[in-house]
């Protein structure tokens, strides 16, 4: 099973390549969707890493893929500039999902 990266940053890709993870650098929405289709067709890819910025640009497609298929597992990662999510992202997610305040 392979891991594949779709990134908007060459530094992120270079770091992942040091760990043996292949990927591509794209910027436009059409390019992102094209690479996503390629990954969906590739049966060897079990985990798709995508930077948060790119995931925001194709969020409806990401959500549809997560609901329709169990593979590949999609993981949104920060790029070298750090996360785009607020610091209380996880606690807010739990609170909104199940109504539990922690």
Q: Residue 20: left if φ>0, alpha if ψ -120 to 50, beta else—which one?
A: left
Tell me what pLDDT residue 33 has: 92
Tell me what pLDDT residue 76 has: 87
Residue with more model confidence, 75 or 102: 75
DSSP output for 21-51: -EEEE--SHHHHHHHHHHHHH-TTEEEEEEE
- pTM for this model (two decimals): 0.77
User: Which tens digit of pLDDT belongs to each residue from 39-98?
Assistant: 888 889 889 999 988 988 998 988 888 888 778 888 888 866 656 666 665 666 666 677
Domains and CATH numbers, the chain: 2-98 (3.40.50.10580)
Tell me what pLDDT residue 5 has: 92
Tell me what pLDDT residue 9 has: 87
């Amino acid at each position: 099973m392979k891991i594949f990266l779709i990134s908007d940053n060459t530094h992120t890709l270079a770091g992942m390549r040091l760990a043996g993870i292949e990927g591509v650098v794209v910027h436009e929405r059409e390019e992102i969707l094209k690479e996503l289709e390629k990954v969906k067709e590739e049966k060897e890819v079990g985990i798709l890493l995508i930077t948060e910025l790119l995931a925001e640009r194709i969020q409806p497609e990401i959500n549809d893929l997560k609901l329709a298929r169990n593979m590949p597992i999609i993981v949104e990662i920060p790029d070298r500039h750090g996360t785009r999510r607020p610091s209380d992202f996880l606690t807010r997610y739990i609170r909104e999902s199940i109504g539990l305040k922690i």
